């Protein structure tokens, strides 16, 4: 298949490119490289350096390239940044996505997979969280993702030939098994790379809140290894190729790990100490976010293989060690 990956220079997009190329697909990438890394893009993929808000470039590309499906990863992802600059997030995530899908439809492209988030749920009313849980995002980031989920549904309401899947990630993490590709955000906001960096550098690690209503007082999250996350996209792609519809799936394990457990695992795997600085809670952080993955397991036969906390941290640690060597 000829497949377009937006945001292919980013963390999850770069893994997706590698897997699709290994599968024998013809992969095209659109990325403006403002936050991604050119070096993360497999050289067998064709890169178009552009912003998805650039209609002229999209028009020219789609006119020249018979794309069969789009996997849309491009977007800003920091909850904290979105609270400080919501207009930036709306313009980039919402306007950019609408422009991408509208332009694709003009060129006959009807198959989409959207990188969504558990942040669409907001503070959970039930744990684990099913897909039909009320949607009440507490951050502009979560609101932008929910807005695009709704937009895709509206496109399908107008044109039943449109098929899409929205994958609501819980906490994506980990690195390739060979340690050659990993999580490299700038700025970095995710706990596992931040904890590993603190262990390596000897700097203080800020633990945001130790008074949550959880067994050890720290937040509990559902961590999904990036390789398992990529597998969910393959399964979703097969689904929308064979079936017409709009589909929504949680991508998680149904198992939670606390922030303290993550820190302890990083120290055990690295054999390094982490100096923890207890800091105030961040606005909007829920006590516990754990997926109910029943639907994706039942409908798509999704079976996470690498998402135990030890494997996640081991692979992330190997990648960070390789960065030091380089």
Enter the DSSP assignment of 291: B
Burial zone of 185 (CB within 10 Å; 0-12 exposed, 13-18 middle, 19+ buried):
middle
Both tokens assigned to 224: 């999904």
Q: Which helix (H) or strand (E) holds 275?
A: strand 275-279
**Could you say which of 11, 89, 121, 141 is catalytic?**
141
Largest CA distance in the chain: 56
Long-range contacts of 30-35 (CB under 8 A, 24+ apart): 30/4, 30/5, 30/6, 30/58, 30/61, 30/74, 31/6, 31/7, 31/74, 33/9, 35/10, 35/76, 35/185, 35/186
Both tokens assigned to 208: 């945001």
* Block residue for tokens 């017409």: 244
Secondary structure (3-state) at 104: helix
Active-site annotation holds for 141: yes
> 220 with 91: CB under 8 angstroms?
no
Q: For residues 36 and 136, what is the distance between their CA atoms, to the nearest angstrom?
A: 29
- Catalytic site residues? 141
């Amino acid at each position: 298949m000829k497949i377009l990956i937006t945001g292919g220079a980013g963390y999850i997009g770069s893994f997706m490119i590698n897997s699709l190329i290994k599968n024998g697909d013809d992969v095209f990438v659109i990325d403006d490289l403002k936050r991604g890394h050119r070096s993360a893009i497999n050289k067998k993929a064709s890169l178009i350096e552009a912003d998805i808000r650039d209609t002229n470039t999209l028009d020219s590309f789609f006119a020249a390239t018979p794309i069969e499906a789009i996997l849309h990863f491009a977007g800003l992802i920091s909850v904290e940044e979105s609270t400080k600059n919501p207009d930036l997030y709306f313009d980039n995530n919402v306007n950019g996505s609408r422009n991408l899908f509208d332009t694709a439809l003009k060129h006959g492209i009807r198959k989409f997979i959207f990188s969504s988030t558990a942040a669409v749920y907001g503070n959970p009313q039930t744990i684990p969280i099913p897909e039909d849980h009320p949607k009440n995002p507490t951050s502009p980031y979560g609101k932008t993702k929910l807005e695009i989920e709704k937009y895709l549904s509206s496109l399908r309401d107008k044109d039943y030939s449109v098929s899409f899947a929205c994958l609501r990630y819980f906490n994506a993490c980990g690195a390739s098994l060979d340690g050659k590709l990993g999580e490299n955000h700038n700025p970095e906001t995710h706990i596992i790379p931040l904890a590993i960096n603190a262990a390596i550098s000897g700097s203080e690690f800020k633990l945001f809140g130790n008074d949550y209503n959880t067994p050890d007082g720290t937040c509990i999250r559902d961590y999904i290894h990036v390789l398992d996350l990529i597998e969910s996209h393959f399964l979703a792609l097969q689904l929308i190729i064979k079936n017409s519809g709009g589909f929504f799936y949680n991508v998680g394990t149904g198992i939670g790990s606390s922030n303290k457990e993550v820190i302890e695992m990083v120290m055990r795997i690295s054999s390094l100490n982490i100096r923890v600085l207890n800091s105030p809670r961040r606005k909007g952080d829920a006590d516990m976010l754990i997926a109910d993955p029943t639907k994706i397991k039942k409908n798509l036969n999704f079976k996470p293989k690498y998402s135990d906390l030890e494997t996640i941290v081991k692979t992330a640690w190997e990648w960070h060690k390789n960065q030091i060597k380089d």
